[in-house]
């Protein structure tokens, strides 16, 4: 890694571009359920690349910038996320470890109660 890289670039480069966080997900109890057939419309599911990356926050209102706080606290990030692993290596990951469940299309909507009916958390 070049020492001339900016701090922002080095932070960005932590991402492994796995595309996991671009899928619908829900926290239900101690489970983190990812619906792998429900990707963001801008995710190329063959390459896992975002097709609008430079304009992602403008094009996609649900897209969120990765921050140090999220790396530390966001329970909706899977353990495989490079930022979670980075935070664990630095002993600053404070979110609970959730069991990852990979679900099929429609699972979250069909099986889980609405937010006001149960303790699920859509993220």
Residues making contact with ligand SF4 (CB under 6 A): 15-22, 40, 42-43, 50, 52, 56, 60, 63, 66, 77, 81-83
CB of residue 17 to ligand SF4, shortest distance in Å = 6
84 and 78 Cβ atoms separated by less than 8 Å? yes
Nearer to ligand SF4, 40 or 112 (CB): 40
115 and 21 Cβ atoms separated by less than 8 Å? no
> Which residues have C-beta within 8 Å of that of residue 79, sequence separation ≥ 6?
85, 97, 100
CB of residue 59 to ligand SF4, shortest distance in Å = 6
CB of residue 58 to ligand SF4, shortest distance in Å = 9
- Angle at the Cα of 61 from the Cα atoms of 41 and 104, rounded to 5 degrees: 40
**Tokens at 84, concatenated:** 């979670």
Nearer to ligand SF4, 97 or 113 (CB): 97
């Amino acid at each position: 890694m070049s020492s001339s890289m900016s701090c922002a670039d080095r932070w960005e480069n932590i991402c492994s571009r796995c595309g996991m966080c671009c899928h619908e997900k829900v926290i239900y109890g101690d489970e983190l359920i990812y619906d792998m057939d429900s990707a963001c419309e801008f995710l190329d599911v063959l390459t896992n690349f975002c097709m609008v990356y430079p304009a992602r926050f403008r094009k996609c209102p649900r897209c969120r910038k990765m921050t140090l706080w999220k790396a530390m606290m966001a329970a909706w990030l899977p353990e495989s996320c490079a930022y979670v692993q980075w935070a664990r290596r630095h002993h600053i990951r404070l979110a609970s470890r959730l069991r990852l469940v990979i679900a099929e299309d429609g699972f979250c909507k069909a099986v889980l109660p609405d937010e006001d009916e149960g303790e699920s958390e859509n993220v």
